[in-house]
Amino acid sequence: MIIEYEEKYLNDVRDLLTELEEYIISIDEDELDQLHPEYWEKMAILSLKEAYDNEGICYLAIEDNKVVGAIIGGIRPYEPYDYLDYKCPKAGEVIELIVSKDIRSKGIGHKLMDKLESYFKDKGCEYIGIDVFAYNKNAINFYAREGYHNRMHRVIKKLEQ
């Protein structure tokens, strides 16, 4: 069952986001990610605030009275001069998507994406964007199956000290 976020589930969202960050750390070949001691307490609140400050929403996947997935999204804010080099269509942004590792590949991520896409359509969005960690091949493949494609590449280089 997919429901809109309720505050009584805040700790479940915190746990899911922490699970995601632990996974990201485990695949981070650059060793730049970390799980700061304040992550569990603050990250969910910051992500939810970002969403709700930008016409957004959070949906939760519930199975057996337990939160097993979450998606948080908002409407992309534009900078005052973005119009100079960009058409600036109204676009949704996926801030976070996590399905508990114990039940992945069972369609829950797809259901959460469908729900958020419907929300963005109702808000008049023409596009949806999401930043995906380059080393997260599972997520990249998931989004490709959902019809998303790569538009930008961010490249980095470690400087030798």
The total number of structural domains in the chain stands at: 1
pTM: 0.90
Is position 125 within any domain?
Answer: yes
Split the chain (161 residues) into runs of 10 and give each run's mean pLDDT: 96 95 94 92 96 97 94 91 80 95 91 97 94 92 93 85 84
Confirm if 61 and 2 have CB atoms less than 8 A apart: yes
pLDDT at residue 78 in the model: 84
Asked if the structure places residue 32 within a domain, the reply is yes
159 falls within a domain? no
Single-letter residue type at 85: D
Asked if residue 157 is part of any domain, the answer here is: no
Instruction: Decide if 155 is inside a domain.
Output: no
Distance CA 139, CA 93 (A): 16
Domain that holds residue 111: 2-145
Quick one: pLDDT at residue 24? 94
Could you give the C-alpha distances from 82 to 78, 85, 114, in angstroms and in order?
6, 6, 28
In a domain, 58, yes or no: yes
pLDDT, residue 117, reads 97
3-state SS class at 123: coil
Q: Which residue has the tokens 């069972």?
A: 106
What pLDDT score was predicted for residue 74? 97
State the angle between helix axes of 39-53 and 10-27 in degrees (0 to 180), rounded to the nearest 10. 110
In a domain, 156, yes or no: no
**Residue 152 maps to a domain:** no
Buried b (16+ CB within 10 A) or exposed e, 116-137: bbebbeeeebeebebebebebe
Q: What is the CATH number of the domain that holds 105?
A: 3.40.630.30
